[in-house]
Structure 1
């Protein structure tokens, strides 16, 4: 969702109304109230009793825009280091580290850095204790970060967070489309820091001095430069007291932050850049300087971007994708506090001519004076954007995160103000910004062309925000939902199950939700091995094209109807199943179900849409065929896949997949639907705000008599023993490499040993950034940005799989492999400790609690349980079995893991050529201040 990324200069708080000692009450808008502590910390409280979770989101108004010469990437590096031990959370004398605390309360968490801000958010089960611990952690990270030299980089061991961040940089450098976008931005800016990638440059990442990093931290990580958002199930005044207790003692800093004042000069002609490196597709991209996010032009620009890039009716889609000149579009809208930059591009096949796509791109963007914007285009785009705002407002967690960019751009209330601005935009305003900014002299492209007469754009800097907010009061707060804690017992007690006349099963969980939100998940099960033979690529296309039009509605008409109903519908399909995910509101649910039934039962499968989608799918596969992660994953699947060519579950090589996709015909897609689609083996789960009696009647009328011509016969997934193979895949010119370690297990999720092995894997590599593998390879050795282990055990077939994944620089791949095998051997031979198991049980249990309270995920699980004949008793029993586990039982299960590598399939993908390894080692020499 795009902004929600909008906004601008900070507005003054309302006259204080005493809320507590040392706290001033500020603006209240649509259920959110602002407070300010004496030390300058701003606090936004958004209580929501409908879901038993709390989200904290602290936004520091510092990002890559604030970095000086030689400091690029410093804000992002600091974000990483704040997950390292701090003063209170040191990991010593019984104190947890930040990661241990986050995992112990089952939090879903992350940090992110952008041009204008750095943020840290976490969602966890609602309780006063959990909130107090989270606030204590954030207050300590604000002023108590250790920033130890060894945490950054230890020259004696060659380890530290610097090498982890450098590996993240290398991952980005392996994506040629992302690199091209960064180069376009760099050429477009002469002086402003928006021209630099937020992750920084390699040399600054490697050579940063810890003293400069500490000074940066001391300057910006202060109460008066932060906004804390607390959203979810809590009592407002009690939460405010907890905030005051955690943060109130922090002093207001004596320093005064100087505003950034560099203004980018007006661009005086077309600019160009060409990137040459390995890749599977081409890209042509045009970028333009535009006003700050909070400027009054921002709303019209948002509408304009939708008019240009939306599928299928957008002008760029029609001019490039629909005509076959491009396989897909690329749009980058990094709305910023100061004058910003838009990029619009087209992805073109590797062997196609690039010039026709470039000509068409510029003809659409810079030819809008001759082809003015229509009111119908504006109305459609407006409806789409307003739907996005309403969906975010209905989900308190999502809303708390959407406020991040509003804070960064100037004021959290701009999230709501932008909605009102968008609602009022007309065609004349959109036409004006198109002509104002989309000019050749304001463009950066893939080549340089001199111009005799400069036609320059002066981008406004004054947003006029204070005046716009002066009399703005927002809308009434949304109706609140009931307090419902999604425990297995509570779900089972509320759940209603039924079967339709044709055998389709349904599970209904009705509850009052914020804004009347409701989620539904349909699962259709299709065909048999015989009927699906040689159709592995036909099934996914038949599912994807369901959204492209019906016998009575075009693709655009479907999109417009769903937007008007504040609904989102998505289709995901494989060869033997289709999943339909639905999000809408109570009042619109009956009409949305009518549309879903129409799409499922009466698709048009128009030829033009089929050809467009086939091109895009082939292009995605061809692009993946040069990427380390995709190639490694494909190699592992092929090693462990026992099915022969032609079998529906066979895994071909990526080039063969692309050829098979290209060979699919429209008639095959239509025949597949006619033969295999029906609901007698389908299931649906609905969770949220709905009238149960009316819903049951509608489901019966729409789906109760729909049957497939071909019966469904489930295909068993076979167990294939690991061959103990070592496979190395060369991916030239890629700065990042991937290591996959796979080990099949003859196990189902109802086996007696499953809970113990589940906990063993959780401690080994399943925890969020906190596990044996993460502690060793990421935290201690600093070799990988992403390392984890997954235990994938099915419900019906004894065909489980343990899989470990690690990213690294190619020259570090051997070190990563050695560390992985060492930790595997230690876990299998020595097992785990009681303390590790206790912490894992708590974290795993609370994480499941958070997951069940996400209605979309719960609907998906309930739909799958219908086919399995399961109730929530399975979850209750599993959690009880985990709670009762002893460390001896877990260590006995850990012995089933592949030890130091026996029988383990190891696949590496990267650029391992000796010359490139030597070059990278030399470029990353362990020389550091």
Structure 2
């Protein structure tokens, strides 16, 4: 996520620390729930704005999260997608803060910022340095109370285009049209939840300025919102700042509660959809109650037992035992007033989908009748509670403490609703789960099968009509935005080092925010260690580690993790391979024992090798039906050359031919060569002291020795010479083209690249970069464009990724080239860009290392790029020394757009005439990478 190594270890003397001599019983979920608490206070302004304040002084940052009681369920007929469209407009500036909202966010060093819309709500959130809180509240208040005078027809037209490209980007993915079919199949058209949040192209086309103004006045009043401040803040300060910034805003109409029924189909409904997918997927769906129902927690638990756990019923039966499916899932999605149960099975290639569908229905029926066991319920409880506990280390973002408080306040009128849910989870019984599942899943099912084939015609947007001119709105002048306060340089946690008795180094930092330990065991391997004639071997080996080890089968390993509340996973970059464990610190000893069994004593059982081989082959085929997968399998061998260590697919999954033939012996051999003490380093972040961590790791890994020759990576090959051209991969019917552009830079990842990476924030990386602002915010041709220095240990590539609407493919490449050439010649970084980026990067440092995972990742990056342990404590000083001249010179010395090679995945019939005008050689690829492609060269 060894047969020989296992035999070698049998004769070794295992060192067991006193702490591990008798493993304590796992801490039960009920005890953990009692420890989860988010103390907070509340007050309400005279205009109705509800404010919740939680104090957390672990870092000098505050999460500002504002939730509006407006989502797509409130949209009238003909205005689908409007709540989401308006969310976009809220980032285009307000009357006293003109321009893109992301500019002041970057200036103040905001992290974890975004806005999202769903059926029940729209929210805006960011975590800012404490010294920037006053300005952040000023900005949020300005767009709540003083927005409309800044909304122009140009902004509206542009954001309609951006949202439509967001829709195209999601729709063009494999299975990307499923949600529309599910909603239509299960819900009446006039049901509040009866349309997707993204909306329809036609409704988006029709959005007018008057619609925008009416929407804002109806829904964005302070009395329709909840504001949460969580972090380095207290109630008196919060009251003063919130009253100062929001107090003068007048209330608007209060959102009236919607009466929503859970609809039941009159009879079972079955449909078949064709899509560009590699694997037939079978869906079973039911509408069920939302989180306003006592059945929500039992349904969540039941779905997890059925198909959400790694040891779920569906995994064990359909994937492991009967080998009819390569992937299964089941889950409960609870909205405020409606929920859904979705169950899926991806049919194993060569198996009759009807056979899988029959068995799937039999398993569901049996589970609904007999229910879960007590052990299954307890494993769901433990997994869920430990996951929620880990999330509480973060004050904001997508899932931190501010989110838990805001959701309860908005959806249930109770900011402590998170406690209600956790208590219900900790006390739910198998009988309650069985009762809820029977009550709702014995109703008629919506059954959908998505099978490989040509899609139906796509609903495209129309050419924009001339907008109706709206009268201007008088603006309200407020006092200037508050100044940003000063911020001290980052105090990065102290990093300590020690070694186990066998020489493995431990790199450690202590964090006490939550009682958890994260361990990453990093090997000097990575995708570059994969044998070229058997690419994908490493990926297959990693997938097999937890599918049988030390006498336990895959189900037993999954169950053991769930009982402990531990999570063991695997991953690989181009240069390193990692196996990691996140554990409740109270359960660290047994979690590390399980972790060591998986790392050191995997079985690689022949039957499991064949089963996981089939799953990996299915993943490869899925990549070959996904625009991103196709592009990232195609570009690297072209950029680097096939003899270069990085001249392989960045996905790491290998090719059909190589994965089909890799043997068990070759998998074992790879494990022996690369999973060795001399190639390993432990990176640990924990609330426990280093001495205790070392003792625990010594007991599990201290006697580990290696046998046989070690693997060797040859990194000496030079990259291929640049050969600028366009490789066009035909994907008929695609409403969007994916553009990748790339160049191998004349530098290594271990060089000092911070100045060039910083300068590239103005050019290619980040929302405010030149290329994203041009193609997204000015032209409206894309949902997002990015050009990045992809830092690896060796030769570094620069890669542009630009998903654009199909009819603007050629113009988009021309615009990209124009932006790069201008920046790299006479239109380099401006004073405003330099000050915004440098100031923002310094101010965002405290928020960038809020969690243990952030610190763990930073420690690993420092090791990979040969940087000192205190690197991040010194980076603010380095930023201050980056002048405009140094920033310009750093990028101009590396990036040359005349050397870019382009890969375009799109509908050749629409795209090729556009590309012909660019004057670059074009190679037409009529089939995706990894197949025998026919080419024509111009």
C-alpha distance 378-890 of structure 1, shift in aligned 2 (>3 A): closer
Counterpart for residue 509 of structure 2: 509
Structure-1 residue corresponding to 2:335: 336
Q: Which residue of 2 aligns with 1:107?
A: 110
1:807 is the counterpart of 2:803: yes
Summarize the alignment of residues 600-639 of structure 1 with structure 2, pairs less than 5 Å apart: 600-639=599-638
- In the alignment, which residue of structure 2 is the partner of 1:913? 909
3-state DSSP class of the match of 2:747?
Answer: coil
Q: 1:652 to 1:826 in 2, by over 3 A?
A: closer
Query: CA separation of 1:720/1:499 partners in 2, compared to 1, >3 Å: closer, same or farther?
Result: farther
Which range moves more in the overlay, 140-149 or 97-106?
140-149
Name 1:586's counterpart in structure 2: 585
Q: TM-score, normalised by structure 1?
A: 0.84
Partner of 1:11: none
Q: Output the CA distance in 1 between the equivalents of 2:248 and 2:356.
A: 59
Q: Is the 8 A contact 2:68 2:220 kept in 1?
A: yes
Describe how 1:277-296 pairs up with structure 2 within 5 A: 277-296=275-294
- Aligned residue among 143, 146, 159 for 2:145: 143
Q: Which residue of 2 aligns with 1:134?
A: 136
Would you say the 8 A contact 1:544–1:572 is kept in 2? no
- SS of residue matched to 1:814: helix
- The secondary structure found in structure 2 opposite 1:57 is strand
- The answer (yes or no) to whether the contact 1:828–1:896 under 8 Å persists in 2 is no
Separation in structure 1 between the aligned mates of residue 797 and residue 527 of structure 2, nearest angstrom: 24
Separation of aligned partners in 1, 2:525 and 2:654: 24
* Residue matched to 1:87: 95
> Is 2:121 the counterpart of 1:117?
yes
1:280-337 Cα deviation digits (max 9, x unpaired): 2211111112112221111110110111103442122233222222211244533122
- Note the C-alpha offset of 1:227: 1.1
The match for 1:249 is 248
Match of 2:51 among 30, 43, 46: 43
Cα pair distance change 1:643/1:404, threshold 3 Å: farther
Deviates more, 1:690-699 or 1:289-298: 690-699
Query: 2:574 touches 2:650 (CA, 8 Å); kept in 1?
Result: no
The answer to whether the 8 A contact 1:503-1:681 is kept is no
Per-residue CA deviations over 1:672-719 (Å, capped at 9, x if unaligned) read: 324432222211122231122222233334333423333254442744
Match of 1:777 in 2: 775
Q: For the structure 1 residues 574 and 80, does the alpha-carbon distance in structure 2 shift closer, same or farther, using more than 3 Å as the test?
A: closer
Residue aligned with 1:580, SS: strand
Partner of residue 859, structure 1: 856
Q: 1: CA distance between counterparts of 2:764 and 2:390? A: 34
Deviations 1:364-391 (A, max 9, x none): 2233355443223222222222222332
Asked if 2 retains the 8 angstrom alpha-carbon contact of 1:184 and 1:273, the reply is: no
Shift of 1:431: 1.2
- After TM superposition, the structure 1 stretch with the greater mean CA deviation from structure 2, 704-713 or 816-825, is 704-713
Q: Name the CA distance, whole Å, in 2 between partners of 1:912 and 1:422.
A: 52
Task: Confirm whether residue 33 of structure 1 aligns to residue 72 of structure 2.
Answer: no
Question: Per-residue displacement from partner, 1:164-204 (whole Å, max 9, x unpaired)?
Answer: 11011111211242312330221111131322111001111
* 8 A Cα contact 2:570 2:578, kept in partner: yes
Q: What is the total number of aligned residue pairs between the two structures?
A: 832
Q: Which residue of 1 aligns with 2:682?
A: 684
Q: How does 1:293-312 map to 2 (within 5 A)?
A: 293-312=291-310
Greater Cα offset, 38-47 or 575-584: 575-584
SS in 2 for 1:171: helix
Query: Shift in Å at residue 917 of structure 1?
Result: 9.8
Match 2:878 to one of 876, 881, 886: 881
Determine the C-alpha separation between the residues in 1 that align with 2:271 and 2:530: 51
| Within-5 A mapping of 1:24-423 | 30-91=38-99, 97-108=100-111, 109-124=113-128, 126-127=129-130, 129-146=131-148, 148-154=151-157, 160-190=158-188, 191-253=190-252, 255-261=253-259, 263=261, 265-322=263-320, 323-331=322-330, 333-349=332-348, 352-368=351-367, 370-397=369-396, 398-411=400-413, 412-423=415-426
Q: Spell out, residue by residue over 1:515-573, the C-alpha distance to the aligned partner (whole angstroms, 9 max, x if none).
A: 32332222022499899453431112212222223214333333343334333221114
Q: Please, which moves more after superposition, 648-657 or 669-678? A: 648-657
Which moves more between the two structures, 363-372 or 536-545?
363-372
Q: Higher mean Cα deviation, 286-295 or 556-565?
A: 556-565
Shift of 1:363: 1.4
Is the contact between residue 528 and residue 711 of structure 1 (CA under 8 Å) also seen in structure 2? no
Question: What SS does structure 1 have at the residue aligned with 2:123?
Answer: strand
Q: TM-score, normalised by structure 2?
A: 0.83
CA deviations over 1:392-447 (Å, ceiling 9, x no partner) = 33443323234454445324322221111111111111111121111252544459
Q: Residue 275 of structure 2 aligns to a residue in which SS?
A: coil
| Secondary structure, counterpart of 2:570 in structure 1 | strand
Equivalence for 1:450: none
Separation of aligned partners in 1, 2:847 and 2:560? 33
CA distance in 1, matches of 2:653, 2:374: 45
Instruction: In structure 2, list runs of 5 or more residues that go unmatched.
Output: 1-35, 451-486, 915-938
588-597 or 569-578, larger mean C-alpha shift: 569-578
CA distance in 1, matches of 2:59, 2:432: 40
In the TM superposition, residue 587 of structure 1 has moved relative to its aligned partner by 2.7
Conserved 8 A contact 2:290-2:338: yes
> Does residue 500 of the first structure (1) align with residue 500 of the second (2)?
yes
Q: What displacement does 1:150 show?
A: 2.5
- The runs of 5 or more residues in structure 1 that have no matched partner are 1-27, 92-96, 155-159, 448-484, 919-929
Q: Is the 8 A contact 2:742 2:799 kept in 1?
A: yes
Q: How does 1:539-688 map to 2 (within 5 A)?
A: 539-573=538-572, 577-644=576-643, 650-651=648-649, 657-688=655-686
Conserved? CA contact 1:535–1:648, under 8 Å:
no
Q: CA–CA distance in 2 between the matches of 1:746 and 1:174?
A: 35
- Give a deviation string over 1:647-668, Cα, whole Å, max 9, x none: 7964499997133223333343
Deviation at 1:737, TM superposition (A): 1.4
Contact 1:532–1:575 (8 Å) recurs in 2: no
> 1:816 aligned to 2:812?
yes
| Cα distance change, pair 298–189 in 1 and its aligned pair in 2 (3 A) | same
Measure, in 2, the Cα distance between the counterparts of 1:650 and 1:369. Answer: 46
Q: Secondary structure at the match of 1:741?
A: strand
Q: In structure 1, what is the equivalent of residue 899 of structure 2? A: 903
Match of residue 847 from structure 2: 850
Summarize the Cα distance change of 1:413–1:169 in structure 2 as closer, same or farther, 3 Å threshold.
same
Secondary structure of 1:441's aligned partner:
coil
| Residues 327 and 502 of structure 1, relative CA distance in 2, 3 Å threshold | same
TM-superposed deviation, 1:342: 1.9
**Deviation at 1:608?**
4.6
CA contact (8 A) 1:762 1:840 kept: yes
Larger mean CA deviation between 33-42 and 329-338 belongs to 329-338
Q: Is the 8 A contact 1:76 1:198 kept in 2?
A: yes
Q: Offset at 1:501?
A: 3.5
Q: What is aligned with 2:732?
A: 732
Post-superposition CA distance 1:241-284 (Å, at most 9, x none) = 2122221221223x343332354654211112322232222111
Q: Does 1:702 align with 2:700?
A: yes
